[in-house]
Amino acid sequence: MDRRLVLPVLLAALALGACGKKQPPAPPAPQVDTAGQGALREDSLRAAREAEARRRAEEEARARAAEEAAARARATIQAPIYFDYDEATLTDDARSALDQKVAILRANPDLRLRVAGNADERGSVEYNLALGMRRAEAAKQYIVGFGIDEGRIGTISYGEERPADPGHDEEAWAKNRRDEFEITAGGERITPPTTGGR
């Protein structure tokens, strides 16, 4: 072991030890104690404990809020967008959902996505694989149009092979004509966008 490491480790251990000693109530002083002095001391210690608890609660709330914001950002990034029948043109809803993804991609330069295009079960298997690819590409091109590096956005198609809803009616089909967004890198810590995100 490198000797240079030994000293800092020792110091850290001492510091930890010192901290540990501070936390339990201090041992009784050797002098003769009076009741008044003891009460004062108790009050003071309680106040300190309460202040510490408040500080921790605030810290936890902040951490929770940050976590929730990150989770919201993750959900926003992963939210599917939907298409009309046999169309790969982005709808207004799809565009506004992509706008939110762009804001998150800007705030997280390491974030990479894979867009998977999907189709409903109607039509031919192979044509739907081609259609899914065009749907994935439509989302990619829109995102890249905002200056996001195209190397960060991959595209694949599952055609009609992976329905989100196994049903055989318009309601199911509408849910299946979609792009899904999978985080392929940089998803461990997602920074929510400072502005623009909703």
The two structure tokens encoding residue 190: 């997602």
Q: Which stretch binds another protein (CB under 8 A): 26-34, 36-44, 126-134, 189-197?
A: 126-134
Taking the complex as a whole, how short is the minimal distance between the CB of residue 145 and another protein, in angstroms? Answer: 14
As to burial, measured by CB atoms within 10 angstroms (0-12 exposed, 13-18 middle, 19+ buried), residue 153 is buried
Taking the complex as a whole, how short is the minimal distance between the CB of residue 100 and another protein, in angstroms? Answer: 17
Taking the complex as a whole, how short is the minimal distance between the CB of residue 148 and another protein, in angstroms? Answer: 17
Specify the residue for token string 């192979």.
126
Q: Which stretch binds another protein (CB under 8 A): 16-24, 33-41, 53-61, 156-164?
A: 156-164
Give phi and psi for 155, each to the nearest 5: -135, 140
Of 108, 35, 47, 50, the residue nearest 77 (C-alpha): 108
Q: Which stretch binds another protein (CB under 8 A): 3-11, 37-45, 73-81, 125-133?
A: 125-133
Residue pair 82/175 in contact (Cβ under 8 Å)? The answer is yes
Q: Which of 69, 79, 107, 156 binds another protein (CB under 8 A)?
A: 156
Phi/psi region, residue 159 (left: phi>0; alpha: psi -120 to 50; beta: rest), is: left
Nearer to another protein, 2 or 92 (CB): 92
For position 167 contacting another protein by CB under 8 A, the verdict is: no
The two structure tokens encoding residue 58: 């605030």
For position 80 contacting another protein by CB under 8 A, the verdict is: no
Q: Which of 69, 79, 80, 154 binds another protein (CB under 8 A)?
A: 154
Query: How many CA within 13 A on the CB side of residue 46?
Result: 6
For position 76 contacting another protein by CB under 8 A, the verdict is: no
